[in-house]
Structure 1
Amino acid sequence: MYNKETITKLNELDRKHYLHPTSSLKQHQESGPKRIFTEGKGIYLTDVNGNQYIDALASLWNVNIGHGRKELGEAASQQMGKLAYSSSFNNLSHETVIQLSEKLASMTPGDLNVFFYTSGGSESNDTAFKLVRHYWKMKGQPEKKKIIGLERAYHGITMGATSATGIPQFHNMTTSISPDFLHAAAHKTNCELGDKSDPDYFRSIRGIIEKESPETIAAIIVEPIQGAGGVIISPDGYLEAVRKLCDQYGILMIADEVICGFGRTGKMFGVDNWNVVPDIMCMAKGITSGYIPLGAVAMTERLRDNLAAVSNDVLFHGFTYSGHPTACAVALKNIEILERENLADNSRQMGPELLKGLKFLEDKHTIVTKSRVKGLLGAFELFEDREQGIPFNPEKMAAPKLVEECLSRGLIVRAVTFGGTNIIALSPPLIITKEEIEKITLILSEAIQAVKNNLKFQNA
């Protein structure tokens, strides 16, 4: 616990010098940071005032093995003492990136055995877009350059990743986005299988392909579960239908596993829940549990071999920190812990417990509805009248108010309000226990009651 003078100084310096990501600039300048954290252990974070919080979001869906794992710091320290950094440009290499690549190849589905490294999810998705366009160009089909994503999808905040994202707010932030990105209605399984009677057919992936011509489409990118869009789980049969569609039209399939990967959904990768093998798979977050920045792009050996056969030129794409030795060492230790402690299996086992808690909230509070969970990725929605399907007016800020009520009670969750929704998302560390899930449920229940009382007072 810090003294009052130190806390005041930290707040002042934060407000003066730190531009926060995905935050209200006006609110920050008026009030400073909401909380300043100093320590993490297990599923808990501690702030400068000594208050403890359950991190039920694993910070940004990424601290899969929990906070405070000294093994990862030791792995970083040992690697830094041996070889902190070395470039991989011009076919130079180092032992740690080779070891990580071999390890990942043993975990990824199918023949996704070739890896390109980045510093995070946005860079991974941008890399995938460039690679597929380069692939088709080298194959003599440069007109195949369009990327189809889904509405409500989130793929990152670099220029290409933002353009692929299907959430308008991220487009509106800038004056221009990249061309040749299209967005289809999500999860229209019957349409992707060819049902033209559906009124949304022409907004489906298949409908867009037919309109634009498959000769212009380079790839389709999908999240097995849409995270930032509101924890929207792909219905059974959907990813399989997209895979068949890509095969039918000669289009590459990209799976964005940035949130879903490394045990989050109860399987090592989200696509494993549906036994689908994409052509390219993008990873980040859980690959190091957030302890150090790292991302990766897995591609099939077939794609790599085809590129090698048709291109004698340099691959003019690479980041300074591609294959960073220290980041690779941390990833290896993180994966070792994931496997040693069977955390993907714990995610699978705790998923029903989390769903049980959310269903309890539905039974107790009439404004709670549409609970869904896959592994330890879950959400529920707030409706003014769930029986009539009437959502809360966006001006009532039901979900953001619930987030604040939870925070005041020592619980961190996330609100998703895109498109007027009031969704509460949860993705706790994969080490969580049944007792800790029950504790989260009780705090949520108290916070929901407080929001109900507040909204009732507003209506009075």
Structure 2
Amino acid sequence: MNNYIHELEELDKKHFLHPTSSIQQQQQHGPSFIFTKGEGVMLEDIKGNKVIDGMSSLWNVNIGHGRAVMGKVAMEQMSKLAFSSCFATFSNEPAIRLAAKLAEIAPGNLSATFFTSGGSESNDTAYKLARHYWILKGLPNKQKIITRTKSYHGVAMGATSATGLKPFRDFTNSIAPDFHYVENTSSAALRQMIETEGPDTIAAFVAEPVQGAGGVHIAPENYFKEVRDICDEYDILLITDEVITGFGRTGMYFGIEHYNVVPDMMCFAKGVTSGYAQLGGVMISDRIHEDIAEHSTGTLLHGYTYSGHPMACSVALKNLEIIESEKLIDQAKQMGAYMLAGIKSLQKSQKIVGEVRALGLMGAIELVKDQQTNERFQVPVAPLVVTESAKRGLVIRSVVFDGQDTLVIAPPLVINKEKIDQMIAILADTMSTIETTNKRRNDG
């Protein structure tokens, strides 16, 4: 077994270029985990180590790991029709049924879906559709896209350009033009930017209902209502990015529902299949759908090979059935409140815990050197907490962009109180050890 594991580690180092990973760390140490099995909220690696998946892997395994029925659904569909193109008006029943189901559960009058393979493609599609819409309406100068600081929208070229976290844009030396970034919690700042740039040049404003990868930042209570009014006033499309927040994650079907606001377009992915297949999409309102149909004279020249993939759509339909039949949206709301109480308890027991926040099963813990002054550590501590927590049986993530030193947590919606208690206990133990070590260093 040791030789087998060593072989895989060496092959990984030589041939597998990992996404969003430290190349130096991988080349020196190999993969930190080689996972082989998942069950509920637990993951098991090739060495037999078991860990709580405190991130739903990538915010997406909403129904939990190890659902054999998902494999059965995929196999049944693949045995009949694994794939067929949806170009040139070709269609398939799973894609049709899923589009209809999404229209049923989506906020307001969002009624038509363009399918993609994931979140980055969904965001890129939304920006292109928004610009195309204004071209059809005879307003081709409305092409600028405004997004928010601390936002994350993906890593395709358009999505990278829209992301408000500068290190992601700095990864390449030439981002797409006409993207602008406004302060993430101020509707007044949005209005000022619109007036400065000129509303007749702006196609859309894009926002996550809760900023996920940027540090789980929750909007002020009236923010999205004010944003909706501003977009209506200046004739600008409102696009919500529900890639992370959709399908029960926040304790509602979609995150924007917390604010009683309906967007013009809505991007989704991740939780639509809970990671059991690759799928995403963009939903558009009745008005936009009707306008595009009325004003279009030729082909909609946008599409992906796997748009409307029949197997992925079948998996998504079963996933939504499980979310509803097992009442996982209510579960997320209840367990989210319990998780928030747990991370609040860390504020009292751990001196390095600053602000904590959560909406449903999306939580954040800011780490500070001094709770009273909110002074930060010179070198972020969150990555160390992540590493040490993994050794103790908990997988979470850190956010250190834009001066942040934050832990983020988003377990599967099937999590129970016992597992949340275990997560909090592991974090407390890890933080206590780190605090003791730092004190010894300072005293020494």
Q: Same fold per TM (> 0.5)?
A: yes
Identify the residue that residue 275 of structure 2 maps to in structure 1: 290
Match of 1:222 among 181, 204, 207: 207
Contact 1:351 1:375 in 2 (8 A): yes
User: Contact 1:151 / 1:184 at 8 angstroms: preserved in 2?
Assistant: yes
Counterpart among 390, 393, 399 of residue 410 in structure 1: 393
CA distance in 1, matches of 2:333, 2:393: 25
SS in structure 1 at match of 2:369: strand
How far has the Cα of 1:26 moved from its partner? 1.2
Which residue in 2 is equivalent to 1:196? Answer: none
**Residue in 2 aligned with 1:172?**
170
Q: 1:456: Cα distance to partner? A: 2.1
- Give the alignment's TM-score, normalised by structure 1: 0.95
**Partner amino acid, structure 2, of 1:53:** V
Shift of 1:311: 1.1
Cα shift at 1:46: 0.2
User: Deviations 1:325-363 (Å, cap 9, x if unpaired)?
Assistant: 000000000000000000010001111100111011101
Amino acid across the alignment from 1:73 = G
State whether residues 245 and 255 of structure 2, in contact with CA within 8 Å, keep that contact through their aligned partners in structure 1: yes
Cα distance in 1 for partners of 2:52, 2:388 equals 13
Q: How much has 1:235 moved relative to structure 2?
A: 1.2
Measure, in 1, the Cα distance between the counterparts of 2:438 and 2:89: 61
CA distance in 2, matches of 1:450, 1:10: 32
Shift of 1:369: 1.5
Q: For residues 360 and 145 of structure 1, what CA distance do their matches in structure 2 show?
A: 47
Partners of 1:104 and 1:180 in 2: CA distance: 31
Aligned partner of 1:209 among 161, 169, 194: 194
Q: Within the alignment, does 1:437 sit opposite 2:420 as a pair?
A: yes
Q: CA deviation at 1:453?
A: 1.9
How far apart are residue 30 of structure 1 and its match? 1.0
**Counterpart among 140, 148, 151 of residue 150 in structure 1:** 148
Q: Which amino acid aligns with 1:138?
A: L
Verify: 1:243 aligned to 2:224, yes or no. Answer: no
The yes-or-no answer on 1:363 pairing with 2:348 is yes
SS in 2 for 1:103: helix
Cα deviation 1:95-148 (Å, max 9, x = unaligned):
110000111111001110100000000000000000000000011100000000
- Tell me what 1:9 maps to: 7
Q: Indicate the residue corresponding to 2:429 in structure 1.
A: 446
1:277 is the counterpart of 2:277: no
| Aligned counterpart in structure 1 of residue 51 of structure 2, from 25, 50, 53 | 53
Look up the equivalent residue of 1:364 and give its one-letter code.
S
Matched, 1:316 2:301: yes
The Cα of 1:421 is off from its aligned counterpart by 1.3
Deviation at 1:455, TM superposition (A): 2.1
Shift of 1:74: 0.6
1:391 aligns with 2:376: yes
SS of 2:260's partner is coil
Which of the residues 210, 217, 237 maps onto 1:252? 237
Q: Which amino acid aligns with 2:192?
A: G
Mapped contact 2:354–2:374 kept (Cα < 8 A): no
TM-superposition CA deviations, 1:60-112 (whole Å, max 9, x none) = 00000000001111110000011110111001111110000111111001110
Residue aligning to 1:423: 406
Q: Distance in 1 between matches of 2:179 and 2:136?
A: 20
After superposition, give the CA deviation of every residue in 1:274-306 in whole Å (9 maximum; x if it has no partner). 111000000000000011110010001110110
Amino acid at match of 1:446: D
In structure 2, the partner of 1:134 is: 132
Verify: 1:455 aligned to 2:438, yes or no: yes
- What is the CA–CA distance in structure 2 between the aligned matches of 1:312 and 1:168, rounded to whole Å? 39
What is the alpha-carbon root mean square deviation over aligned residues?
0.7
One-letter amino acid matched to 2:317: L
> What's 1:200 paired with?
none
State the match for 1:76 in structure 2: 74
State the Cα distance separating 1:188 from its structure 2 match: 1.0
Instruction: Give % identity.
Output: 51
Deviation at 1:21, TM superposition (A): 0.3
**Alpha-carbon separation, structure 2, partners of 1:456 and 1:117:** 53
1:377 matches 2:362: yes
Q: What are the residue-to-residue correspondences of 1:92-103 with 2, within 5 Å? A: 92-103=90-101
Q: Distance in 2 between matches of 1:178 and 1:316?
A: 19
Where do residues 322-333 of structure 1 align in structure 2 (5 Å cutoff)?
A: 322-333=307-318
Bigger Cα displacement from structure 2, 258-267 vs 445-454: 445-454
Deviation at 1:420, TM superposition (A): 2.1
Unaligned runs of 5+ in 2: none
- Cα distance between partner residues in 1 of 2:130 and 2:185: 23
> What CA distance in whole angstroms lies between the structure 2 residues aligned with 1:364 and 1:453?
13
CA contact (8 A) 1:405 1:450 kept: no
* Distance in structure 2 (CA, Å) of the matches to 1:310 and 1:355: 49
Q: Which moved more, 1:305-314 or 1:118-127?
A: 305-314
Cα distance in 1, alignment partners of residues 71 and 280 from structure 2: 18
Which portions of structure 1, spanning 4 or more consecutive aligned residues, are displaced by more than 3 angstroms? Answer: none
Tell me, in whole angstroms, the C-alpha distance in 2 between the residues paired with 1:85 and 1:436: 39
Structure 1: segments with no counterpart, 5+ residues = 192-203
